[in-house]
Chains A and B, each alone.
Chain A
Amino acid sequence: MVIFDEELRLLKERVLRIGSLVEAAIHDSVKSLVERNSDLAQKVIEKDHKINALDVEIDEECIRLIALRQPKARDLRFITTAMKITTDLERIGDLAENIAERAIELNDEPQLKPYIDIPRMAEITEEMVRDSLDAFVRGCSKIPYEVIKKDDEVDNLNAQVFNELLFFMIQDPHTVSRATRISYVSKYLERIADHATNIAEMVIYMCEGKIIRHMKKPGE
């Protein structure tokens, strides 16, 4: 079983690698908007195929491990969770690409207002992705309940961004097209946070399926 342990370790490494690619994509897409750097946005779009390729690679590896090693209980649940998590990560990558696309459009127009809440949202969502993946690879030593709480923070910021933009639009209808695009960026970030929450929930499910009788669900 030493070979299998090594294979599992490599699988974890790959999941972490796709995680850091996705974090960088979120970070750079928002940076390309805030710093009005369309070249950086272009790079995010170009690099998305790497995330897609790694997703397929991890999926293939998981199927291979299940078929060849016939893992039981905990390991099997770990591998099936890895397959589901990477699907979410890949979609976060697509959303970062959408942010980069909107950034390119918005950078062509005069700036409506300085971006304050959007970078904060990006920061929180990056943390959410990192924390849920940490919990996943570290074998449930720290269950990612806080990730789910942070999702509310992102939802609130999204509502705040939206209300502010509404105010701009009502005052000057010519800003509608720009303001709506900014509201989309905020929506994309909110969806990224939802994906991160999904990952956290899957990790919690995996962990509790294993130690369900030892866990108390806080705040329920």
Chain B
Amino acid sequence: MAIFDEELNALKEKVLKLCCMVEVAIRDSVHSLVERNSELAKEVIKRDHLINALDVKIDEECVKLIALRQPMARDLRFITTAMKITTDLERMGDLAVNIAERAIELNEEPQLKPYVNIPKIAEITQEMVRDSLDAFVRGCSTLPYEVIKRDDEVDELTVKNFNELVGFMIRDPKIIPIAIKRTYVAKYLERIADHATNIAEMVIYMCKGKMIRHIAPTES
């Protein structure tokens, strides 16, 4: 079974690599907005096909592993979870592209006010992505539960950002198109956080399927 262990390790590494690429895409897309750097935004858009290609490759690899190695129980659950997780990661990549697209549009207009909430939301979101993937590759712990808790923080900041912008819009209707685009960026980040939450939930589910009797009911 040494070959199979090696294959599983290689799979983990590929999933982590995909995760890194997605993290970079999120970080760069938000930088391109905050620093008004449209060149960087174009880079994010251009690089997205690499994320898509790796998603397909991991998917193929998982199907191959299941078919050839016929894994049981824990390993099978791990591989099917990997297939689902990469779908979420790939969509986070798409959302980073959406942020980059809005950044290019917003960078052409005068800046409404400095970006305060959005970098904060982005920071928490990136942590959530990283921790949910750590939880997946490092085995079961309380980490995915923490990811789920932080999603509320992101939701609250998104609402706060929204209310502030509505205030601006009511005072000065001319800025509505710009303000709305900014609410969209926050929404995209909130959706990335939702994907990270989905990953955390899948990891919990994977762990419970494996050791359902060892998890305290308070955690469920």
Tell me the A residues contacting B by CB distance below 8 Å: 56, 62-63, 66-67, 70, 72-73, 76-77, 80, 83-84, 87, 91, 162, 166, 169-171, 173-174, 176-177, 180, 183, 187, 198
Residues on A with C-beta less than 8 A from B67 are 72-73, 76
Q: 30 A-B residue contacts at CB 8 Å?
A: A62-B80, A63-B77, A63-B209, A66-B66, A66-B76, A66-B80, A76-B63, A76-B66, A80-B80, A80-B83, A83-B80, A83-B83, A83-B84, A84-B83, A84-B87, A87-B84, A91-B198, A166-B176, A166-B180, A169-B169, A169-B173, A169-B176, A170-B176, A171-B173, A173-B170, A174-B170, A180-B166, A180-B180, A198-B87, A198-B91
Residues on A with C-beta less than 8 A from B117 are none
Residues on B with C-beta less than 8 A from A77 are 63
- In the bound assembly, the distance between CA atoms of A174 and B198 in angstroms comes to 36
Interface string of B67-106 (1 = CB under 8 A from A): 1001011001100100110010001000000000000000
User: Is the CB–CB distance between B72 and A67 below 8 Å?
Assistant: yes
- The verdict on B62 contacting chain A, using a C-beta distance below 8 Å, is yes
- In the bound assembly, the distance between CA atoms of A56 and B204 in angstroms comes to 13
Closest residue of chain B to A191 (Cβ to Cβ) is: B191
User: Is the CB–CB distance between B187 and A187 below 8 Å?
Assistant: yes
CB contact between B183 and one of A62, A63, A177, A180 (< 8 Å): that residue: A180
Closest residue of chain B to A162 (Cβ to Cβ) is: B180
Residues on A with C-beta less than 8 A from B87 are 84, 87, 198
- In the bound assembly, the distance between CA atoms of A130 and B93 in angstroms comes to 27
CB contact between A80 and one of B63, B70, B162, B177 (< 8 Å): that residue: B63
Once A72-B67, A80-B62 are accepted as A-B contacts, the answer to whether A63 and B176 lie under 8 Å apart by CB is no
- In the bound assembly, the distance between CA atoms of A76 and B59 in angstroms comes to 12
User: Is the CB–CB distance between A63 and B76 below 8 Å?
Assistant: yes
Closest residue of chain B to A195 (Cβ to Cβ) is: B91
- In the bound assembly, the distance between CA atoms of A83 and B77 in angstroms comes to 12
User: Is the CB–CB distance between A80 and B66 below 8 Å?
Assistant: yes
Residues on B with C-beta less than 8 A from A70 are 70
Closest residue of chain A to B60 (Cβ to Cβ) is: A209
Most A C-beta atoms less than 10 A away, residue of B72, B171, B177, B180:
B180
Add 16 more A-B contacts to A76-B67, A171-B173, A174-B170 (CB < 8 A). Answer: A63-B77, A63-B80, A76-B63, A80-B62, A80-B63, A83-B80, A84-B84, A87-B84, A166-B176, A166-B180, A170-B173, A170-B174, A173-B171, A176-B170, A180-B166, A187-B187
Residues on A with C-beta less than 8 A from B83 are 80, 83-84
- In the bound assembly, the distance between CA atoms of A202 and B166 in angstroms comes to 39
- In the bound assembly, the distance between CA atoms of A180 and B63 in angstroms comes to 43
- In the bound assembly, the distance between CA atoms of A77 and B166 in angstroms comes to 47
Residues on A with C-beta less than 8 A from B174 are 170
